[in-house]
C-alpha cells in the first residue's frame, strides 16, 4: 500500500487535481484514503462513509469546475475527502475540534461547501433549487452552471428525498443526482427502496447504445425538451420489455444510468463527462462499499462508521476501560427497554435508522418482531408509532433530539391531539460536542413545552431514566417525552428497582435559606457540584431543586420557592429563551411571585463544535460558570 511518488502533497485545490492525467487518479484515491485513515486514527470522526465515496469525490472535482459548478453533499459523513481536496488539507487535523474546521460541510466555511448537510435527505431539494437558479442565470448571462447532488441509499429512505424527486420530474432543470448505493446508512439500510436497489438491473448494451444515440441527437439539435421526454417514455417501455423490470426513476421522467462500479475512478470520469452537458434531470446509480480500501472498516462498517481512536496499521481500536464507570445513557435505555418489554407485551420499539446508536439493538436482538427500524424517516417514525398506539400497542419511539425537529408536526398532529400513548425518547439532548450546531439537541424543551397533552421529563441520572421509562409505560399516561444526553451519566450502580415517579413532581435535593437553584436533567449534577463547592467555602445557604418535569410543572414545589426565596437561578442544557427558566418565570408571574430569576442555558445563537466540557464552559453552564453566576447574585 506504500507509494513511491506522492500526488496528494501537491494538491491544495481542485484546479491542481485537474492538472493530473486520468491514469494518475487511482493512485491519488489511494493516497487520499490513506490520509483520511491516518488522520482519523488520532482525531476521531466519521471514517467509513468518506472511504466509500473517495473515487466519486475525486471524479466529481476532476470533471466539474468547482466551486462554480455546485456539488451538494447529502450528510457530511462522506465529505472528508472533499474537504481535503478543497483547500483544507493542512487544516484537516483540526476537524471537529474547538475552533477548527466544521464537522460537516458548510457554506460559512468554504465556497466549495454549497449547502448545510448535517441531516439526511435534503440534497435533492437543495440542488434542485440551485439548478433552477442556474437556469435563470444562464438565460441572463449565457454562462452555464452544473449542479450535482450526491445522496446515499440510506438517505433515500427519508421522505424529503422523495418530495425532491417528485419536483425534479416536473421542474425544468439539468440536475445530476448521484445515488451512492452501499446498502448502508449507519446501520444496515432498510425499507422497500433498499430492496428495490438491490434487485435493480439494466442491460449494459442497451445503456451504451442509448448514450450514443442521445448524444448524437443532441449534437444535431434533434432533442428539444418536449421530444426528450417523449423519447424517455419510449425508452422506458423498451427497457421494461428487455429487462422485465420497471425503473421508478425513469417512471418519473428522470433519466437513469447504471448501476456502475463507484470505485473505478477512470470509468467514473468517462461517465461524468458524457453526462455533464446532457439536458434534463439525470440519476447516476453507483455501487460502492462503505469503508472501501481499509480492511477493518470493510468487515464491520457499523463500528467503523465512527470508530474513535485506533491504530492505523493494525486496525485495533483504542477503547477506554469502562470498569467501575457510569454507563452511557443510551445503554441504560436499551437495557431498560428490554426489561420492560419482557414484562409488558404491548411495548414495541421504533427508531429511524439508529438501532445501534440508541441501543435499541439490545431489544431488537431478542425481540426482532417487536422492534422496527424505519429508516431515516423521523416524521414517519412518530406517525407510525401513533398508529400502533391508536390500536393498543405502546411504542417507545427513540429519536435523537436534533433529528426530532423534523417530526414536530407529526408529534403535534399525529400524537398529541389524540393524546396517544407514545413514549418519545429523545437521545442526544443538550450539547452533543464535536458534531456541532446541526446535532446539538438544545431546542426540544422550548419547542415542545407549548404543545398540549404532552408530559415532558428529563432524568438527572441513570436511575431516574429507568424510573421515568417505567412510569411512561404505565396505563393512561398519554404522550410522554423523556429527554437525556449523549454519553455517560454519573451513577455506576444504575440497576435500581423500577418504581413509578409521580407525574409532575420534582424533588428537593438540598435545603437552603438564601437562594434557590432549579435544574432539570443531567445538568443538575454540575449544579450540585457547584453548590457543594460554594457551601464548603462560602457563608451562603443554597437550596437545590430538581424540577424533573418541564410539563406539567410541580406547582407545590414552585409555590415553596416563590414563598421562601427572593433570588432564584435556573439551569438547563437547552435554549434559554422559551425553555425551563422561561417556564418558571411565567409561572411565578402568573401566581404573583416576584423573585429575581437568573436563567442559565444555551444563548440565542448556534453553538459551535468542541468537546461537551468546552462548550458548556463557553455557554456558561459548567461548574465554574455556575459558581460564578450564583455568587454574583
Instruction: Look at residue 49 and tell me whether its pLDDT is greater than 60.
Output: yes
> What is the structure's pLDDT at 349?
98
Query: Roughly what angle, to the nearest 10 degrees, separates helices 123-141 and 159-168?
Result: 30
Catalytic residue among 55, 250, 378, 434: 378
pLDDT score for 229: 52
pLDDT band at 215 (very low <50, low <70, confident <90, very high): low
Q: Average the pLDDT over 82-110 and give the result.
A: 96
pLDDT per position as a tens digit, 425-459 = 999 999 999 999 999 999 999 999 999 999 999 99
Confidence category of residue 190, pLDDT binned at 50, 70, 90: low
pLDDT of residue 202: 45
Mean pLDDT of 102-110: 95
Catalytic residue among 70, 210, 228, 406: 406
> For the residues of 240-272, what is the DSSP string, one character each?
HHHHS---TTGGGT-EEEEEEETT-HHHHHHHH
Confidence of residue 182 (pLDDT cuts 50, 70, 90): confident
pLDDT of residue 422: 98
pLDDT average, residue stretch 221-246? 53
Mean pLDDT of 517-543: 94
pLDDT of 207:
54
* 233 in active site: no
Strands (E), 281-366: 282-287, 347-351
- Whether 508 is catalytic is no
CA torsion angle for 433, 438, 444, 447 (degrees, to 10)?
Answer: 150
Q: Is the pLDDT of residue 143 over 70?
A: yes
User: With bands split at pLDDT 50, 70 and 90, how would you rate the model's confidence at 203?
Assistant: very low
Q: What is the mean pLDDT of the chain?
A: 91
In this prediction, residues 71-100 reach a mean pLDDT of 95
Residue 107 has pLDDT above 50, yes or no: yes
pLDDT for 210 beyond 90: no
Confidence of residue 356 (pLDDT cuts 50, 70, 90): very high
| Confidence tier at 488 by pLDDT (50, 70, 90) | very high
Give strand pairing partners of 284.
178, 257
Report the pLDDT averaged over residues 169-177: 93
**Per residue in 559-616, pLDDT tens?**
999 999 999 999 999 999 999 999 999 999 999 999 999 999 999 999 999 999 999 9
- Sequence-separated (6 or more) residues with CB below 8 Å from residue 484: 329, 333, 425, 426, 427, 429, 458, 459, 465, 521, 522
The average pLDDT across 463-487 equals: 97
Per-residue pLDDT for 105 more than 60?
A: yes
Count other C-beta atoms under 10 Å from residue 261's C-beta. 13
Stretch 289-314: mean pLDDT, rounded?
92
- Whether residue 200 is predicted with pLDDT greater than 90 in this model: the reply is no
Asked if pLDDT for residue 332 goes beyond 70, the answer is: yes
* Over residues 469-477, mean pLDDT: 97
pLDDT at 118 over 50: yes
Least confident of 119-123, 366-370, 409-413, 587-591: 119-123
> Strand 371-373 and strand 507-510: pairing?
unpaired
> pLDDT confidence of 389, banded at 50, 70, 90?
very high
Tell me the chain's radius of gyration from C-alpha atoms: 27
State the pLDDT at residue 2.
45
Active-site entry in 70, 102, 282, 290: 290
**Is pLDDT above 80 for 65?**
yes
Q: In what order do the strands lie in the sheet with 176-181?
A: 70-73, 147-152, 176-181, 282-287, 255-261
Indicate whether 371 pLDDT > 50.
yes
The residues that bridge with 282 in the sheet, in sequence order, are: 176, 255
606's CB contacts (< 8 A; 6+ apart) are: 437, 440
Euclidean distance between CA atoms 181 and 260, whole angstroms:
10
pLDDT at 83: 97
Higher per-residue pLDDT: 279 or 205: 279
Q: pLDDT band for position 199 (50/70/90)?
A: low
Q: Across residues 464-488, what is the average pLDDT?
A: 97
pLDDT digits (tens, 9 = 90+) for 531-551: 999 998 887 999 999 999 999
Asked if 406 is an active-site residue, the reply is: yes
Residue 154 confidence (pLDDT): 85
**Coil, strand or helix at 376:** coil
In DSSP notation, 404-441 reads HGGGHHHHIIIIITTT---EEEEET-B--STT-TTT-B
Please tell me the predicted confidence (pLDDT) of residue 247. Answer: 78
d(CA 559, CA 346) in angstroms, rounded, equals 38
What pLDDT does residue 560 have?
98
CB 469 within 8 A of CB 340: yes
Q: Is pLDDT above 70 for 238?
A: no
Averaged pLDDT, 402-406: 97
Given a cut of 90, whether residue 239 has pLDDT beyond it is: no
What percentage of the chain has pLDDT greater than the value 90? 82
The pLDDT tens digits of the residues spanning 157-166 come to 899 999 999 9
**Higher-confidence position of 248 and 115:** 115
Which has more confidence, 3 or 346? 346
Amino acid at each position: 500500500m506504500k507509494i513511491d511518488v506522492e500526488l496528494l502533497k501537491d494538491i491544495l485545490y481542485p484546479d491542481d487535481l485537474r492538472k493530473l492525467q486520468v491514469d494518475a487518479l487511482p493512485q491519488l484515491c489511494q493516497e487520499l484514503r490513506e490520509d483520511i485513515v491516518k488522520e482519523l486514527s488520532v482525531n476521531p470522526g466519521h471514517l467509513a462513509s468518506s472511504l466509500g465515496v473517495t473515487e466519486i469525490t475525486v471524479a466529481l472535482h476532476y470533471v466539474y469546475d468547482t466551486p462554480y459548478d455546485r456539488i451538494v453533499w447529502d450528510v457530511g459523513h462522506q465529505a472528508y475527502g472533499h474537504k481535503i481536496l478543497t483547500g483544507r488539507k493542512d487544516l484537516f487535523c483540526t476537524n471537529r475540534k474547538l475552533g477548527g474546521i466544521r464537522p460537516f460541510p458548510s457554506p460559512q466555511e468554504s465556497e466549495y461547501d454549497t449547502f448545510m448537510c448535517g441531516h439526511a435527505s435534503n440534497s435533492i431539494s437543495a440542488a434542485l433549487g440551485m439548478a433552477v437558479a442556474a437556469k435563470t442565470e444562464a438565460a441572463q448571462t449565457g454562462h452555464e452552471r452544473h449542479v450535482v447532488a450526491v445522496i446515499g441509499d440510506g438517505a433515500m429512505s427519508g421522505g424529503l428525498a422523495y418530495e425532491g424527486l417528485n419536483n425534479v420530474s416536473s421542474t425544468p432543470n439539468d440536475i445530476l443526482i448521484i445515488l451512492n448505493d452501499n446498502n448502508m446508512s449507519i446501520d444496515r439500510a432498510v425499507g422497500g427502496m433498499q430492496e428495490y436497489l438491490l434487485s435493480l438491473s439494466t442491460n449494459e448494451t442497451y445503456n451504451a447504445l442509448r448514450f450514443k444515440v442521445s448524444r448524437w441527437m443532441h449534437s444535431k439539435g434533434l432533442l428539444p425538451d418536449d421530444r426528450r421526454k417523449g423519447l424517455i417514455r419510449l425508452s422506458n417501455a423498451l427497457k421494461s420489455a428487455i429487462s422485465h423490470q420497471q425503473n421508478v426513476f425513469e417512471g418519473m421522467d428522470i433519466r437513469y444510468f447504471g448501476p456502475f462500479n463507484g470505485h473505478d475512478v477512470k470509468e467514473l470520469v468517462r461517465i461524468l463527462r458524457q453526462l455533464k452537458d446532457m439536458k434534463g434531470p439525470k440519476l447516476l446509480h453507483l455501487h460502492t462499499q462503505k469503508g472501501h480500501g481499509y480492511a477493518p472498516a470493510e468487515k464491520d462498517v457499523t463500528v467503523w462508521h465512527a470508530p474513535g481512536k485506533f491504530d492505523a496499521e493494525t486496525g485495533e481500536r483504542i477503547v477506554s476501560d469502562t470498569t467501575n464507570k457510569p454507563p452511557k445513557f443510551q445503554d441504560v435505555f436499551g437495557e431498560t427497554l428490554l426489561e420492560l418489554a419482557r414484562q409488558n407485551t404491548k411495548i414495541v420499539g421504533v427508531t429511524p435508522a439508529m438501532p445501534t446508536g440508541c441501543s435499541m439493538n439490545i431489544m431488537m436482538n431478542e425481540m426482532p418482531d417487536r422492534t422496527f427500524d424505519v429508516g431515516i424517516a423521523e416524521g414517519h417514525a412518530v406517525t407510525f408509532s401513533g398508529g400502533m398506539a391508536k390500536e393498543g400497542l405502546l411504542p417507545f419511539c427513540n429519536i435523537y433530539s436534533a433529528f426530532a425537529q423534523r417530526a414536530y408536526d407529526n408529534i403535534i398532529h399525529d400524537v398529541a391531539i389524540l393524546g396517544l400513548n407514545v413514549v418519545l425518547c429523545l437521545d442526544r439532548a443538550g450539547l452533543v460536542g464535536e458534531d456541532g450546531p446541526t446535532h446539538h439537541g438544545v431546542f426540544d424543551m422550548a419547542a415542545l413545552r407549548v404543545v398540549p397533552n404532552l408530559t415532558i421529563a428529563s432524568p438527572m441520572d441513570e436511575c431516574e431514566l429507568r424510573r421515568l421509562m417505567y412510569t411512561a409505560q404505565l396505563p393512561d399516561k398519554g404522550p410522554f417525552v423523556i429527554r437525556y444526553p449523549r454519553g455517560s451519566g454519573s451513577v455506576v450502580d444504575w440497576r435500581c428497582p423500577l418504581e413509578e415517579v409521580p407525574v409532575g413532581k420534582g424533588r428537593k435535593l438540598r435545603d437552603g435559606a438564601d437562594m434557590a437553584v432549579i435544574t432539570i436533567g443531567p445538568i443538575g449534577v454540575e449544579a450540585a457540584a457547584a453548590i457543594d463547592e460554594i457551601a464548603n467555602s462560602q457563608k451562603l445557604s443554597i437550596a437545590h431543586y430538581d424540577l424533573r418535569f418541564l410539563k406539567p410543572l410541580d406547582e407545590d414545589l414552585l409555590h415553596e420557592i416563590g414563598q421562601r426565596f427572593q433570588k432564584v437561578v435556573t439551569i438547563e442544557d437547552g435554549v434559554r429563551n422559551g425553555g425551563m427558566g422561561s417556564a418558571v418565570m411565567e409561572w411565578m408571574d402568573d401566581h404573583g411571585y416576584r423573585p429575581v430569576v437568573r436563567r442559565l442555558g444555551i444563548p440565542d445563537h448556534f453553538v459551535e463544535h468542541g468537546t461537551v466540557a468546552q462548550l458548556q464552559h463557553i455557554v456558561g453552564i459548567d461548574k465554574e460558570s455556575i459558581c460564578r453566576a450564583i455568587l454574583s447574585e
